[in-house]
Structure 1
């Protein structure tokens, strides 16, 4: 792992260019996402030294880069070796029963998903992980049934099996994983993604689960809009596989990645999907 890099910012409504663009802006789609974070002190006493870390859109050249970030509170920006961008909010004191609202606007540049994205080490995306039980006999057996002569045709076979055999159960609060999905044939978008990744890895295709938002316009996402999908590394680039929404390969430019799932801690958000706090604040995003 590379040492985590720290990009520090301070002041209100600060706009900062984070990453240079690998392609020209004329070739990119620009999207703005706006969030309001409500932080409440539920106690009749003052809270001190409260911190919150949350994911912003990831930076992954040449596919996706943050162009600017505007935050209505003092903050720091962090990044890690996977390309995650993390917003850190720190509060020295929060008054009893007080509520704070922090506004965030992020401009993202999205490029053609067919752009080459070489892997530094493809083995990182072929392993068994928590919730991605690639080596389990049930998953190995199904992967063998779906194996085709090429990685792309195998990916398409995985997509079609999921689309035709999985039952969408609606939102489920807990992660259940690929093994649950293959045995129960049910789950929410997270289980669809876990199983797609497990089946791809079992067939020797580097794959990852991604979390974020799907949109064809500027939006203020709601919590329930957060979505998980799979990406398979085929022919030198990450390819979209989202059987829950019935999207294979396209429309990749509508998918804005915030988190690349790994069963290890690479930043202060830890193993959480969206954010992590170290205090007693109640947080609504």
Structure 2
């Protein structure tokens, strides 16, 4: 009887082990099918606008975020040597030392290989207090934001996010481009804005409801491509208790085409990030002009 019992326990153990292995294989195959490689290239022209020789000047350029809920950087190559620098929230930059002759132009080509996937992965940075904080463009003390956030409260995290997106779509007029960032209060008080204001307003309304949210800067592309300035876009993410969810308040979408949103920057207060208020790149010598070709 004791021997039969031992065989029974062993059999149960073996079945459990086989099931675990099969489940792991299935999950791995499913994840692999959902992920794909994407190659991005971008070219920067660094022009010396003076008659002086500029030697070893610092130029800093944003790189795609190394790891998010929907992307992972596999390889970065550049035509010039650089130092990769990262901050505490995941932003990373390529730091160059550039020499440019008088009125000359230096060209830098950057090639990035990413792995992107359309299923959100678990996040481990949602507890960062920055994603619930007030800020210059996230105006949590604004009376109109307080009142609207209260009206849109109630229900699950995902339900609140959906209500906020629906309200923004119904009430905010889309401006193609506003040169300067205006923030959430501007969007609500004037009922207009571009992708930046849409994202700030969404983020403010979620944070006011106690939901971790953040504004993301990057590029929206659906395939391997050469990045252009007009591809640049701002959107938002919120944490629903399991993962960060991609939201495009300007387009009115939640969790759609997430592999098309390539994040280059988590936007927080200027003094807390690597490149102040710069959206894409910074040259510390004001005689240099940096443009994305």
What's the TM-score bracket when you normalise by the shorter of the two chains?
0.7 to 0.9
Structure 2 residue aligned with 1:49: 56
Structure 1 residue aligned with 2:102: 96
* TM-aligned CA deviation for residue 54 of structure 1: 1.1
Asked whether 1:132 is paired with 2:158, we answer no
Query: Over residues 104-146 of structure 1, what are the superposed CA-to-partner deviations in whole Å (9 max), with x where a residue is unaligned?
Result: 1111112344321133525331111110001211101011111
* TM-aligned CA deviation for residue 265 of structure 1: 3.1
Structure 2 unaligned segments of length 5 or more: list them: 1-29
Structure 2 residue aligned with 1:213: 219
- Cα RMSD (Å): 1.7
Asked whether 1:32 is paired with 2:43, we answer no
Give the greater-gyration-radius structure (CA).
Answer: 2
Structure 1 residue aligned with 2:150: 144
**Stretch deviating more after TM superposition (59-68 or 207-216):** 59-68
TM-score (norm 2): 0.84
Asked whether 1:284 is paired with 2:291, we answer yes
From the superposition, tell whether residues 43 and 124 of structure 1 become closer, same or farther in structure 2 (CA, over 3 Å): closer
* TM-aligned CA deviation for residue 67 of structure 1: 0.6
Q: 2 CA distance for matches of 1:225 and 1:95? A: 31
Equivalent position to 2:124, from 115, 118, 121: 118
Equivalent position to 1:191, from 174, 180, 197: 197
* TM-aligned CA deviation for residue 257 of structure 1: 0.6
Q: 2 CA distance for matches of 1:120 and 1:212? A: 20
3-state SS of 2:187 partner: helix
Q: 1 CA distance for matches of 2:146 and 2:128? A: 19
3-state SS of 2:225 partner: coil
Contact 2:157 2:211 in 1 (8 A): yes
**Stretch deviating more after TM superposition (57-66 or 206-215):** 57-66
Equivalent position to 2:169, from 160, 163, 172: 163
Q: 2 CA distance for matches of 1:42 and 1:61? A: 38
3-state SS of 1:204 partner: coil
Equivalences, count: 262
Structure 1 unaligned segments of length 5 or more: list them: 1-22
Structure 1 residue aligned with 2:85: 78
Contact 2:87 2:274 in 1 (8 A): no
